[in-house]
Amino acid sequence: MAINKKKTPEVNAGSMADIAFLLLIFFLVATTMNVDSGINRTLPPWVDEEQQDAPPIKERNILKVFVSAYDQLMVQGEQIHISELKDKAKEFMLNPYDDPNLPEKEVVENDILGSHVVSKGVISLKADRSTTYNTYVMVQNELSRAFNEIRDELSIEKFGKPVAELTDDQRKAVNEAIKLSISEAEPRDLGAK
């Protein structure tokens, strides 16, 4: 007498692998990932170690911006709200009333722009190591907005349209005329001075 063993039906694993693969592809395509954003800056050219002294800059040509460990913003020793920074930076760089306490200006010639006024002002940005990243980026954005608005004003004065609508050569000329003059010091543990 032979004993009949029940055969266990086999599960087709091939179709399960296909389904798992399709789910993996779906989640890879459908998922969004946070992309780290950075601050777009052009670094200065390399300087040999032999040249240690920076060229002297007159005190009136420097706007001192400091962000404390508590995310407080100080401009020239006066505490301000971040919403005021763009306008302070613009006023400093443009020196519209030729204030002797604000930066010097010089007239330069350019093939595309012709004769125009350029500020000798530099914005000196210093932050504490404990400054939050978000605040630091907001300060950088406000300073960039100030320079972008100055560029747009020059562009409208010379070409009748904002920088975004200029040709590449015109845009390059405007960007060279209004350089992003921001000097960043290495963050230090300065406290809330």
DSSP string, 82-115: GGGHHHHHHHHHH-TT--TTS--EEEEEETTTEE
Q: Residue 77 domain-assigned? A: yes
Q: Residue 107 domain-assigned? A: yes
Domain that holds residue 141: 59-184
In the Cβ-directed half-sphere of 162, how many Cα atoms lie within 13 Å?
Answer: 5
Q: What is the pLDDT of residue 3?
A: 67
Q: Residue 68 domain-assigned? A: yes
Confidence tier at 48 by pLDDT (50, 70, 90): low
Q: Residue 31 domain-assigned? A: no
Q: Residue 160 domain-assigned? A: yes
Quick one: which of 69, 47, 39 has its CA closest to 145? 39
Q: Residue 89 domain-assigned? A: yes
- Whether pTM exceeds 0.85: no
> Each residue of 50-91: pLDDT tens digit?
656 666 778 899 999 999 989 999 999 999 999 999 999 999
> What is the rounded CA–CA span in Å between residue 16 and residue 39?
46
Total domain count for the chain? 1
Q: Residue 12 domain-assigned? A: no
Q: What is the pLDDT of residue 49?
A: 64
> What is the rounded CA–CA span in Å between residue 18 and residue 23?
9
Q: Residue 37 domain-assigned? A: no
Q: What is the pLDDT of residue 91?
A: 94
